[in-house]
Structure 1
Amino acid sequence: MTKPKTARQEQMLRELNLAPSLRVAELARRLGVSTETIRRDLDEMMEQGLLNRTYGGAVRSLGPEPSVTERHTLFVAERERIAKAAVQVLKGAQMLMIGSGATTVHTARRIAVEMKNITVLTHSFGVATVLAINPTIKIVILPGDYHATEGATIGAHTVSFLNSFYADFAILGASGLGPDGPSDALLECGAVYAAMISRAAKTMVVADHSKHDRLFAARYAPWQNIGHVVTDQAPSISLKGTMEKNGVNLTICL
């Protein structure tokens, strides 16, 4: 029996809370309606600001992200696996730039255990703190305005300071991994990440599966500027295809 429109749309929103993206054909099959009906529903829900339309489906609407302190309690095991795999890619690097975020802190902790005699530039106090257990790592904190909920410095001074340096790798987190590239919920952090990418020979994004097919306000780079993505689950077929098309090296640490 076909559900009325309101119940159908409520179920679609519940589905989005469980999975980061929805496909029109799959929704039509599950709900027993035509693809045209699903498209009309998605268009109506997009107008209400409940989601964003993509080619062939929809993703969660742009939204705020929890503070970095809250994020540290989520997906801990997954982030530890990501960090372990990420460090293998970094072997041989001498100069790193590391952005803020829960997954980058996990990665920095693993760097502190497995790497030595390197220099790290970071705007994240969490990253600096976990790196400090290794006395052979030189830590340079970027100046700027302190963003309390992110635990990091941001602003014009942060960005301009980066212009005096080059790095082997920029290691960045993301609030979302979308069809056009990684994005962040904070515009100011997005600006810092973009500056790090411009000063690094290679760029790695470390992000757990909850970031797949999500969109946030600050897209800080197109996929063609990202060399590596390390994540804990395989992305959707469309997202994976976009990464591969743009030459991104994808590491999935199950």
Structure 2
Amino acid sequence: MTDLPIQRHRAILDHLNKVETARTVQLAAQLGVTRETIRNDLSHLADRGLLRLVYGGAVRVGLQEPDLQARLASNIAGKTRIARRAAALVPDGARVALDCGSTTLALARELRARVGLMVWTNDIAIAQELGSGADVMLLGGTLSLSQNITIGPDAAEMMAGYNVDLAFISLGGLSAAQGLTDFDRGEFLLRNAMRNAATECYFLADQGKFGRPAPLRWKSPQTASAVICDCEPGPEEQAMLNRIGLPLMLT
């Protein structure tokens, strides 16, 4: 019997990664819980964009990140805890690179009280959040109106011309099988540039990223200082982090 919701959620996602479809009755029998419990689990995962509900069960979503509005609405409390833990690492006067994303936007809100920050970002909402109190450099590139960001090689090349103290980067996925992953090649290129520009780099991953597949794999992720999560990943994910030498920092 799988008692903890996060364990069941991971088991459901692992099952879908293998077979692409799952029936409620089969999952209930496999995990030793009631059908109603599985229905609640599937609804929760569907709300976070991790699967799609169908009659009698669920199907795997494609290897595509949930849209911006879905991400902004998901796990707000967990992302806020990550943001506060990350903000504690940022002193006044720091030079900071902030990747685009719902968790880094929450971090930007936590940084409004800092004095003398210099911030590099490709996220227009983050630039607006910090623009009145920090010196913000909005990285140029191709404008994505759907994501409210700039992306592409121009943004990455611009970032490569700077040195920063800290970079905070949102992960697309964190899994035992695939390691640390991401979805979009243009965003991935810029995130690598931010990591290379920073003295210290921190990955951010809320529990919605655990076990989630994504097509692009981070190379040499141990060059980051830590990955900050709102709760413990499963033992397989923790073993993966230990194997690659990347510390886990919990909120």
What corresponds to 1:168 in structure 2?
165
Structure 2 portions without partners, runs of 5+: 1-7, 19-25, 32-50, 52-59
- In structure 1, distance between residues paired with 2:201 and 2:153: 22
**Which of 126, 135, 140 lines up with 2:137 in the alignment?**
140
SS for the counterpart of 2:240 is: helix
- In structure 1, distance between residues paired with 2:94 and 2:179: 27
- In structure 2, distance between residues paired with 1:107 and 1:162: 20
SS for the counterpart of 2:186 is: helix
Q: Percent identity?
A: 21
Amino acid at match of 1:167: V
- In structure 2, distance between residues paired with 1:189 and 1:80: 22
* 1:83 and 2:83 aligned: yes
- In structure 1, distance between residues paired with 2:151 and 2:88: 29
- In structure 2, distance between residues paired with 1:61 and 1:246: 28
Query: Alpha carbon RMSD of aligned pairs, Å?
Result: 2.9
Encode CA deviations 1:175-214: one digit per residue, 9 max, x unaligned.
2113454222212111110111111111111121010122
- Residues 174 and 66 of structure 1, relative CA distance in 2, 3 Å threshold: same
* 1:157 and 2:154 aligned: yes
Amino acid at match of 2:197: R
- In structure 2, distance between residues paired with 1:95 and 1:181: 28
Q: Which of the pair has more CA radius of gyration?
A: 1
TM-score (norm: length of structure 2): 0.73
- Residues 117 and 19 of structure 1, relative CA distance in 2, 3 Å threshold: farther
- Tell me the CA shift for residue 148 of structure 1: 2.0
- In structure 1, distance between residues paired with 2:236 and 2:91: 30
What corresponds to 2:99 in structure 1?
99
Amino acid at match of 2:174: L
Contact 2:10 2:211 in 1 (8 A): no
TM-score (norm: length of structure 1): 0.73
